[in-house]
Amino acid sequence: MARSDANTLKIFAGRRSRDLTERICRHLDLPVGLGKTEEFPDGELIVKTDEDVRGRDCFVVLSTAQPVNENIMELLIFVDCLKRASAARVNAVIPYFGYARQDRKDEGRTPITAKLVANMIASAGATRVIALDLHAAQIQGFFDIPVDHLSAAPVLLDHFRAIRDELGDLVLVSPDVGNVKVATMYASALDGELAIVDKRRVSGTKVNTANLIGDVKGKAVVMMDDMISTAGTVCEAARLVMDEGAEKVIVGVTHAVLSGLAMERLAESPISSVVVTNTIPGGARFDPIRDKLVELCVGPLLGDAIHAIHHNMSVSALFQRGVGTKR
């Protein structure tokens, strides 16, 4: 990438997405924008940019993961700061979009919080959003501004293709019925077979898995999903396929949310490898599963999208490299 963009393109980092932003900027051969977020003793945040952004194309990188509400507020303030500093465009780069699971009313008297957050980001002054593997594809339509919904599949596929020979006979297992479309496309891309776990959810934190549709005996199992949250679904599915004779289980996800008892469950599970991307910062919280963890970088993928958007080029090629979305 050309450093000539340095005068017209500025990429800023939220506090908890600094490492990913630095990787994006290295890919583009650009410095990270000079800006900072500070916290007052009462918890209020203030954002300040330390360089001129007037007339510039600005991007703010911040995943709205834990602490979700604090990160959302920082993103909103950062967008407002750049808008009031007369940036020509303010693009919100949200590698992981929090509240994505609250995308519809599935019972009475409940909110659609994903739409509320989308409204707030647009109202703050964002002119565009870049997101990776939204939990529900229709969230793109919640925004009244353009959304580039990228897939981390190219990054994950590069990893699995590199180890494809050592996997031998391969089965892509969908841990639930809603993920069958993605599992089918990964199976095709990796020349593997397909199996499906029939999942029955008991509550928001407890999942019972009942039946396996397909044959995994003597084969390596790979389970792909957009995220691991509490890890209940994937760990129960892993035990099920091992009981059915699978040789080993590898899990691949875009977003390592890993909340609640997720670390303990993964550490104690028969899963041999957990492949994640760096959309959500890991650090020391990954220590309980460090021996199982493979962390991939989505910085170049996001960097390519930022470069295309800044130069008013098509982003379609990045979409075409994906394998689809859950629904």
- Which residues are 200's β-sheet partners? 208
Q: Which residues pair with 38 in a beta bridge?
A: 46
φ/ψ (deg, to 5) at 183: -60, -40
Residue of 312, 221, 327 whose CA lies nearest to 270: 221
Both tokens of 123, joined, read 């109202």
Ramachandran bin of 214, using left for φ above 0, alpha for ψ from -120 to 50, beta for the remaining angles: left
Catalytic residue among 10, 48, 199, 292: 199
Q: How far apart are CA 327 and CA 279, in angstroms?
A: 20
Per the annotation, the verdict on 199 as an active-site residue is yes
Question: Max CA-CA distance within the chain?
Answer: 62
Cα 284 to Cα 97, 134, 300, 326, distances in angstroms: 22, 25, 24, 30
Calpha distance 52→269 (Å, rounded) = 51
Six-digit token string for 49:
């940019």
State the catalytic residues: 199
